[in-house]
Amino acid sequence: MAFDGEAFVQEIRAELTASGRRLDRAVIVERIANGEATPAEMVGWARQHYWGVTYHTRRVLSAWVTKIPYEMTDSVIENIAEEVLGTVSKSGFGHLHWLFQFTRALGAPDTVITEATPNVDATACESFLYNLAHQRPWHELTFGGILGIENQIPPAYIRMVDGFKTHYGNILQPDDYAFHTIHITVDEDHGGHVGEFAERYLDTDAKRRSARAAYLAGAELTRRCWDAFADASW
């Protein structure tokens, strides 16, 4: 029977859901959704995402784009341009600008993030992404980075934005969580067509096994990174 790429993608997504380890169920997401998160905890989450994912995205993608099939390069270059310049969202600024808008609104100086020593969980997430980009077969980053991380972002940020609107209107205005609303829009398509991708490029059982492993590892390491948000202070 022919390999069904869409069924493969749905199967690994279902496996992650069954584990209870999706990003939209992360501790910080639950605390924000319930109005329980403190400003220090939200800044701690931003520190984790900065060191584990966002600070390194442009470098990871810039290395990976040299390994992928030519027909895929347009979307990756577009992704880099959005990260750095906000070209897709037309926000006028890159994503790091908006992340610091969020933490400044919460009262934290930038140094709480930029001068932090990355903890084990942030370092593990960062190292995993660099390993995918530089050492692993190129198809693994599609599953471990794009499907396993980026495609999980919109559902998580939708819950966070709802929490900001409901519980934190006294300290956060819409521009202050533009980092989240921008990602809801620009990341929602990053998991699209992965079933077609799987059918085209995962042409052996070995590739399918490695894609599954990368997906679950990327999702789990990012979840651990997000959950290790404690100890931010200023």
pLDDT tens for each residue of 167-195: 999 999 999 999 999 999 887 655 557 88
Residue 234 lies in a domain: no
Residue 110 lies in a domain: yes
Range of the domain at 166: 5-227
pLDDT tens for each residue of 53-99: 999 999 999 999 999 999 999 989 998 999 999 999 999 999 999 99
Residue 233 lies in a domain: no
Q: Identify the CA nearest to 6 among candidates 172, 187, 192, 190.
A: 192
Domain with residue 210: its CATH number is 1.20.910.10
Residue 232 lies in a domain: no
Q: Exposure string (b/e) for 38-73, b if CB count within 10 Å is 16 or more?
A: ebbbbbbbbbbbbbbbbbbbbebbeebbeebeeebe
For residues 233 and 116, the answer to whether their CB atoms sit within 8 Å is no
Number of domains in the chain: 1
User: CA-CA distances (angstroms) from residue 111 to 49, 172, 230?
Assistant: 15, 20, 16
pLDDT of residue 187: 72
Reported pTM: 0.95
pLDDT of residue 91: 92
